[in-house]
C-alpha cells in the first residue's frame, strides 16, 4: 500500500503532535505529582506538628480520651489513613484508622501492638501510603511519637482523572490540529501540486496548459516556472515540429510532412470517394547550376521554384520539397487527367520562366511524373514509388516532359533493376566479352584498326544490346568498373597480338563521362606502360556530352591524354550539341559521323549536305573523319568522293570476337582490299592505318 503525500504529512504531523502532547502530559503530570506529593507532605507535617504541639498536656494528664479526640480529628482529615500516638516505648496509646480502607485496617489489626509502629512504617514504604512520624516532646522529655499515614489514593485518583482529562483534551487537540493541518495542506499544497500534475499530464499528451498562479510562495514560483517551462517547451516543440516537417530552405513541407498529408488525403479520399494526384517534379540539370553558379545560386533557384510551384496551386493543394531538386505536389479532388495536365503545364511554364541568378539569366526546366489515387496506388508507398517511376520516365524521355504513371513503367523499371543486378555479376561470371569491328581507309579499303565493342551474353536472356545495358551501368556507376575492364582487356589483346607478330593497328575505345573524371589519364598511362603499348595505338572516343559536364576538368584531362600521346576522337558528331566551340577549345584528332547521317546517303539531300559540310569543316580543321554505319557501296562512294578518311560498317566488315579478329588479322585479310563495287580512290595512308577506332557499343 502506498501512502500519498497528504497521508504521509498528516501522519508525520500527528506523530509529532502526539509525541509533543505525550511529553507535555508527562511533564505536567510529573510536575503535578511532585507538587501534590509535596502538598501531601506539607499537610502531613502540619497535622503532625499540631498534634505534637497539643498532645503533651493530654499525655501528661493521661487524658487518653482527649488524645483519642486528637487522633480521631486527625484521622478524619482528607487523605489521612491513620493517626497514632505511641509511648516512647512504642506502645500505642491512641490510634484511629480510617474505616474505608479495609485492607489496610485488616493488616493493621493483624499486627501486634508492639509491632504496630514498624508495621505502619513498612506500609509507608508502599506507593499508596505516606508514613510520617513526629516526636512529642515536653520540656525536652520525649513523651511519645505521633504517627500519621497519608494516603496517596486520592492523589493517584486525581492524577488518573487529570491524566484521563488531559489525554482526552490532547487527543481532541491532536485530532483537531491534524485535521486542520491536513485541510490546510490539502488546499495550500496538494491542490496546486495536483494542478501541476494534471498540467504535466496534459503536456505529456501534447497540450500546453497555463497553470493558474494563486500565490507568491514556493508553489506559486513553481507554477510560474512550470508555465515558463511549458512556454519554452511549446516553442521548442514548434521549432522541432517545423524542423522535422518543413524544409529549412524553402519553408515548404518536407518529405515527412508530405507523407503525412498524403496519408490524410488517402483517408479523406477513401471516405469521399474522390481522386487526387501526386506530381513528382525534378529539376533537369540542376547540378549544372550548382557547379557553374555556386550552391547559393542553386539554393536560390530551389526557393524560387518552390514559390512558383506554390503559386500555381489551389489552397487545398500542397507543395513539398522532398530533398535535393525534387518537389512533390498533392492535387486534391481531381476531376480528370486533363485537369492535371493543365496544372502540370502551368508548373512547367512557371518553372521555366527566366530568372536572374548570380548575375546570369537562367532558365530551369523540370520533369514531372504523375500518379493518381486510387488508380496508381492506394497507399503512400505505392503512390510514391509509382510517381517516382513516372518522373524517372519523364526525365529519361526528354527534358521538360510530363508523364503519367503506367503499369508498363513498372515493368520497365523492374527489368532495369534486374538488369542492374545481373550486371553486377556479369564481369565475375565472364558474361562480358570484347568484339572488334574493323575500320577501313575509305579510299584504300584496307583495315587500319578496329573499334572495340562490348558484348553481353546473358545466360537466360541471350544477347543484350549495349544500348540497353550501358545506360544502366552509367546510372548505377558500374560503368567505371566495366570501362576499366574494357580498357584492360583491349590492352591485353593488343599486347598479345603484337607478341604473336600480328600488327593489330589502332584500337578505338569509347570512354564514359563518369569514367573520364577519375584520374583516367594517369591510370591509362600506367596501363600503357604495363603492356608496352605505344600511345598512338589507342584512340579514345568521347561524346559531346562529356565535354558539357565539366569544362575545366575535361579540358585538364584531355590535355593530359594529349600529352600522353593517345589520339582523341569526338564521337557521334552531329547528333548532339555539335558545338564548334568544342572543336576549337578541345583539340581532337578524329571526328566520327554518326551512322544516322550515313544511312540517308547519298539520296537524302539533308544528310548528304550535312555530311559534306562536316567533311569540309574537318578538312579545314585538319581533322580526320570516320563514317559509321556504312552498309552500301553508294554510301562509301559518296564518302570517298567527298573526302572521308575512314569508314566502318557491315559493308566492310562485321564485328568479330577476339579470336576471330586475331585470325582475321593473321589471315592477311587485312591486307586485302575489301571487295567494293567502286574502285579505291588511292593508297591507304599511314594515318589511315593508324586511325584505328573501336566502340564499346
- Out of 97, 174, 434, 614, point to the residue binding other proteins (CB under 8 A): 97
Place of cell 490532547: 170
Stretch that binds other proteins, among 14-22, 72-80, 442-450, 463-471 (CB under 8 A): 72-80
Binding-residue total with other proteins (CB under 8 A): 26
405 with 370: CB under 8 angstroms?
A: yes
Rounded CA separation 136/87 (Å): 9
Closer to other proteins by CB, 83 or 298: give it: 83
- Residue 112 or 205 having the CB closest to other proteins: 112
- The window from 63-71, 221-229, 491-499, 582-590 that contacts other proteins (CB under 8 A) reads 63-71
Compute CA 653 distance to the chain's CA centroid, rounded to the nearest angstrom: 61
Among 19, 54, 91, 433, binds other proteins (CB under 8 A): 91
Segment contacting other proteins (CB under 8 A): 94-102, 232-240, 358-366, 604-612? Answer: 94-102
Interaction of residue 87 with other proteins, rule CB under 8 A: yes
* Nearest of 170, 191, 402, 176 to residue 277 by alpha carbon: 402
Rule CB under 8 A: choose which of 36, 52, 75, 230 binds other proteins: 75
Please pick, from the candidates 23, 53, 54, 61, the single residue that binds other proteins as defined by CB under 8 A. Answer: 61
Q: How far is the CB of 154 from other proteins (least distance, A)?
A: 13
Is 63 among the residues that bind other proteins (CB under 8 A)? Answer: yes
**Run of H or E residues at 570:** strand 567-573
Which of residues 63 and 202 has its CB atom nearest to other proteins in the complex? Answer: 63
Question: Contact between 98 and other proteins (CB under 8 A)?
Answer: yes
Distance CA 219, CA 215 (A): 7
Instruction: Count CA atoms within 13 Å of residue 692 on its CB side.
Output: 25
Report, in Å, the least distance between residue 112 CB and other proteins: 8
Can residue 320 be called a binding residue for other proteins (CB under 8 A)?
no
Among 7, 15, 53, 65, binds other proteins (CB under 8 A): 65
**CA atoms within a 13 Å half-sphere pointing along the CA-CB vector of 358:** 15
Cell 544528310 belongs to: 607
Q: 8, 28, 46, 113: which one contacts other proteins (CB under 8 A)?
A: 113
3-state secondary structure 103-147: HHHHHHHHCCHHHHHHHHHHHHCCCCEEEEEEEEEECCEEEEEEE
Q: CA 121 from chain center: how many Å?
A: 96
| 107 scored as a contact of other proteins (CB under 8 A) | no
Beta strand 538-542 pairing with 506-510: parallel
Stretch that binds other proteins, among 61-69, 391-399, 516-524, 548-556 (CB under 8 A): 61-69
Judged by beta carbon, residue 64 or residue 185, the one nearer other proteins is: 64
Sole window of 102-110, 241-249, 278-286, 311-319 interacting with other proteins (rule: CB under 8 A): 102-110
476 neighbors 420 (Cβ within 8 angstroms): yes
Distance between CA 447 and CA 580 in Å, rounded?
Answer: 30
Write down the least CB distance from residue 77 to other proteins, Å: 10
Closest by alpha carbon to 258, among 388, 399, 413? 388
Minimum separation from the CB atom of position 116 to other proteins (A): 8
Tell me whether residue 87 or residue 162 sits nearer to other proteins (CB atom). Answer: 87
DSSP state of 537: G
Options 40, 48, 96, 464; binder of other proteins; rule CB under 8 A: 96
Shortest distance, position 74 Cβ to other proteins, whole Å: 9
Q: Is the Cβ–Cβ distance between 84 and 147 less than 8 Å?
A: yes
Out of 66, 489, 595, 681, name the contact with other proteins by CB under 8 A: 66
Q: Distance (Å, rounded) from C-alpha 539 to C-alpha 470?
A: 20
Selection from 602, 682, 685, 669 nearest residue 636 by Cα: 602
Residue closer to other proteins (CB basis): 90 or 374? 90
Of residues 109, 140, 315, 606, which one binds other proteins by CB under 8 A?
Answer: 109
- CB nearer to other proteins: give 80 or 601: 80
Assigned C-alpha cell, 33: 505529582
CB of 44 to other proteins, least distance (A): 17
Choice between 68 and 543, CB closer to other proteins: 68
Classified as helix, coil or strand, 86 is strand
Cα torsion 263, 264, 268, 271: sign: positive
Residue 105 sits in the site that holds other proteins (CB under 8 A): yes
Considering only residues 93, 482, 630, 674, which one is a binding residue for other proteins as defined by CB under 8 A?
Answer: 93
Indicate whether 294 belongs to the interface with other proteins (CB under 8 A). Answer: no
- Name the strand (E) or helix (H) holding 366: strand 366-373
Q: How far is the CB of 47 from other proteins (least distance, A)?
A: 14
CB of 166 to other proteins, least distance (A): 29
Residue of 64, 170, 208, 246 interacting with other proteins (CB under 8 A): 64
First and final C-alpha spacing in the chain: 83
Under rule CB under 8 A, residue 68 binds other proteins? yes
Judged by beta carbon, residue 84 or residue 419, the one nearer other proteins is 84
Give the residue, chosen from 3, 26, 62, 187, that forms a contact with other proteins under the rule CB under 8 A: 62
Is residue 151 involved in binding other proteins (CB under 8 A)? no
Please name the residues in contact with 457: beta carbons below 8 A apart, sequence gap of 6 or more: 431, 433, 463, 464
CA 402 to chain centre: 34
Single out the residue of 647, 518, 655, 645 nearest to residue 589, CA to CA.
645
By C-beta, is 24 or 115 nearer to other proteins? 115
What Å distances lie between residue 369 and 283, 344, 359, CA to CA? 12, 9, 31
Question: How large is the greatest C-alpha to C-alpha distance in the chain, in angstroms?
Answer: 194
Q: How far is the CB of 64 from other proteins (least distance, A)?
A: 4
DSSP alpha helix (H) spans, 313-406: 337-352, 380-397
Applying CB under 8 A, does 99 fall inside the site for other proteins?
yes
User: Exposed, middle or buried, 120 (CB in 10 Å: 0-12/13-18/19+)?
Assistant: buried
- Quick check: 92 binds other proteins (CB under 8 A)? yes
Q: Which residue has the cell 493543394?
A: 317
Q: Are strands 129-138 and 276-283 parallel, antiparallel or unpaired?
A: unpaired
Decide if residue 72 touches other proteins (CB under 8 A). Answer: yes
Options 60-68, 181-189, 334-342, 414-422: segment touching other proteins (CB under 8 A): 60-68
Binding site for other proteins (CB under 8 A): 61-66, 68, 72, 75-76, 87, 91-93, 95-100, 105, 108-109, 112-113, 116
Amino acid at each position: 500500500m502506498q501512502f500519498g503525500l497528504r497521508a504521509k504529512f498528516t501522519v508525520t504531523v500527528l506523530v509529532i503532535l502526539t509525541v509533543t502532547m505525550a511529553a507535555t502530559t508527562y511533564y505536567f503530570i510529573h510536575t503535578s505529582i511532585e507538587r501534590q506529593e509535596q502538598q501531601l507532605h506539607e499537610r502531613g507535617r502540619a497535622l503532625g506538628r499540631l498534634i505534637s504541639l497539643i498532645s503533651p498536656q493530654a499525655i501528661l494528664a493521661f487524658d487518653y480520651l482527649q488524645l483519642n479526640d486528637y487522633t480521631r480529628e486527625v484521622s478524619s482529615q482528607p487523605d489521612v489513613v491513620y493517626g497514632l500516638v505511641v509511648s516512647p516505648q512504642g506502645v500505642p496509646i491512641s490510634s484511629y484508622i480510617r474505616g474505608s480502607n479495609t485492607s489496610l485496617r485488616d493488616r493493621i489489626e493483624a499486627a501486634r501492638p508492639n509491632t504496630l509502629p514498624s508495621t505502619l512504617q513498612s506500609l509507608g514504604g508502599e506507593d499508596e501510603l505516606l508514613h510520617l512520624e513526629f516526636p512529642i516532646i515536653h520540656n525536652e522529655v520525649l513523651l511519645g511519637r505521633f504517627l500519621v499515614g497519608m494516603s496517596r489514593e486520592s492523589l493517584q485518583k486525581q492524577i488518573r482523572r487529570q491524566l484521563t482529562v488531559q489525554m482526552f483534551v490532547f487527543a481532541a487537540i491532536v485530532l483537531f490540529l491534524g485535521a486542520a493541518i491536513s485541510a490546510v495542506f490539502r488546499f495550500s499544497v496538494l491542490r496546486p501540486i495536483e494542478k501541476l500534475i494534471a498540467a504535466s499530464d496534459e503536456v505529456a499528451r501534447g497540450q500546453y496548459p497555463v497553470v493558474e498562479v494563486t500565490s507568491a510562495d514556493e508553489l506559486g514560483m513553481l507554477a510560474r516556472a512550470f508555465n515558463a517551462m511549458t512556454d519554452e517547451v511549446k516553442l521548442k516543440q514548434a521549432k522541432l515540429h517545423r524542423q522535422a516537417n518543413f524544409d529549412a530552405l524553402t519553408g515548404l513541407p518536407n518529405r515527412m510532412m508530405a507523407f503525412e498529408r498524403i496519408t490524410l488525403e488517402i483517408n479523406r479520399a477513401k471516405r469521399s470517394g474522390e481522386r487526387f494526384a501526386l506530381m513528382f517534379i525534378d529539376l533537369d540539370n540542376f547540378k549544372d547550376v550548382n557547379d557553374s553558379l555556386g550552391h547559393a545560386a542553386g539554393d536560390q533557384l530551389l526557393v524560387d521554384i518552390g514559390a512558383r510551384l506554390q503559386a500555381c496551386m489551389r489552397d487545398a493543394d500542397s507543395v513539398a520539397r522532398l530533398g535535393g531538386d525534387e518537389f512533390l505536389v498533392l492535387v486534391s479532388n481531381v476531376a480528370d487527367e486533363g485537369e492535371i495536365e493543365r496544372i502540370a503545364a502551368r508548373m512547367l511554364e512557371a518553372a521555366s520562366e527566366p530568372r536572374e541568378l548570380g548575375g546570369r539569366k537562367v532558365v530551369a526546366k523540370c520533369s514531372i511524373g504523375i500518379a493518381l489515387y486510387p488508380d496508381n496506388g492506394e497507399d503512400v508507398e505505392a503512390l510514391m514509388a509509382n510517381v517516382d517511376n513516372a518522373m524517372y520516365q519523364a526525365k529519361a524521355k526528354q527534358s521538360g516532359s510530363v508523364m503519367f504513371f503506367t503499369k508498363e513503367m513498372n515493368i520497365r523499371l523492374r527489368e532495369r533493376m534486374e538488369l542492374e543486378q545481373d550486371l553486377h555479376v556479369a564481369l565475375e561470371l565472364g558474361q562480358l566479352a570484347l568484339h572488334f569491328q574493323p575500320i577501313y581507309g575509305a579510299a584504300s579499303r584496307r583495315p587500319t584498326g578496329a573499334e572495340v565493342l562490348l558484348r553481353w551474353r546473358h545466360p537466360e536472356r541471350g544477347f543484350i544490346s549495349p544500348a540497353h545495358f550501358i545506360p544502366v551501368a552509367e546510372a548505377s556507376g558500374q560503368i567505371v568498373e566495366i570501362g576499366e575492364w574494357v580498357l584492360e582487356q583491349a590492352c591485353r589483346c593488343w599486347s598479345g597480338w603484337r607478341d604473336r607478330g600480328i600488327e593489330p593497328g589502332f584500337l578505338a575505345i569509347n570512354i564514359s563521362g563518369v569514367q573520364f573524371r577519375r584520374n583516367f589519364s594517369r591510370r591509362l598511362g600506367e596501363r600503357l606502360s604495363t603492356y608496352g603499348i605505344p600511345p598512338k595505338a589507342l584512340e579514345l572516343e568521347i561524346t559531346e556530352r562529356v565535354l558539357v559536364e565539366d569544362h575545366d576538368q575535361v579540358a585538364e584531362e584531355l590535355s593530359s591524354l594529349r600529352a600522353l600521346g593517345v589520339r582523341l576522337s569526338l564521337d557521334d558528331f552531329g547528333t548532339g550539341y555539335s558545338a564548334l566551340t568544342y572543336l576549337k577549345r578541345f583539340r581532337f584528332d578524329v571526328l566520327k559521323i554518326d551512322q544516322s547521317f550515313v544511312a540517308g546517303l547519298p539520296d537524302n539531300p539533308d544528310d548528304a549536305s550535312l555530311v559534306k559540310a562536316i567533311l569540309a569543316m574537318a578538312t579545314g580543321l585538319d581533322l580526320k573523319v570516320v563514317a559509321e554505319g556504312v552498309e552500301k557501296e553508294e554510301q562509301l562512294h559518296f564518302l570517298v568522293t567527298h573526302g572521308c578518311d575512314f569508314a566502318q560498317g557491315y559493308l566492310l566488315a562485321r564485328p568479330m570476337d577476339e579470336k576471330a579478329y586475331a585470325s582475321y588479322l593473321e589471315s592477311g585479310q587485312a591486307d586485302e582490299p575489301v571487295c567494293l563495287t567502286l574502285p579505291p580512290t588511292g593508297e591507304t595512308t599511314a594515318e589511315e592505318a593508324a586511325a584505328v577506332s573501336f566502340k564499346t557499343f
